[in-house]
Amino acid sequence: MLVIALIAIMFIGSAPLISASSRERRLRDAASGIEQMVRAQRAEALATGERRLLDVRPSGFFTRRDKGREVLAMPDVTVTLRSPGTAWAKPDGQVWEFSAIGMVTPYTVRLQEGTAWLEVDFDLLTGRRAEERYAF
């Protein structure tokens, strides 16, 4: 009985850690998905010399060449965006433009699930994550 009680106490004590860890993983996975999409659009713009556009909506990220087909959905994560000089806003059809020399407008993305959040700044030239802030 004592062993079962100790196991139960350890399980109850570790539940918040497991929950926070799974939230962190989901937020980091979502940020990685956005980064991959940004880098792919940047690479295509560089390879073709033509601009590429990425639509950001509440339900996910879409490329124009896919005729509105959803490419990256994030149903459990709340997404807000900020460009320089603006306040945080929910996505409502913002367009990210990529040219052969990089992103036209830099964006910061905030991903939130419950009380955990992750903010990611994207590098204009490479499309990689330039800076990251978080609270898990």
CA pair distance 109, 104, nearest whole angstrom: 16
What percentage of the chain carries pLDDT values higher than 70? 88
Place of tokens 């560089």: 46
CA pair distance 126, 71, nearest whole angstrom: 20
Tell how far CA 81 is from the center of its chain. Answer: 10
Per-residue pLDDT, averaged over 13-24, amounts to 67
Q: Which of 17-21, 62-66, 132-136 has the lowest average pLDDT?
A: 17-21
Over 70: is that where the pLDDT of 66 sits?
no
Over 60: is that where the pLDDT of 32 sits?
yes
Q: What is the DSSP letter of 65?
A: G
Per-residue pLDDT, averaged over 15-36, amounts to 80
Q: How far is CA 114 from CA 18, 20, 132, in A?
A: 14, 10, 18
Q: What is the CATH number of domain 2-135?
A: 3.55.40
Amino acid at position 115, single letter? T
Over 60: is that where the pLDDT of 70 sits?
no
Q: What is the pLDDT at residue 47?
A: 92
- Higher per-residue pLDDT: 75 or 98: 98
CA pair distance 86, 8, nearest whole angstrom: 49
Instruction: Report the predicted TM-score, pTM, of the whole model to 2 decimal places.
Output: 0.79
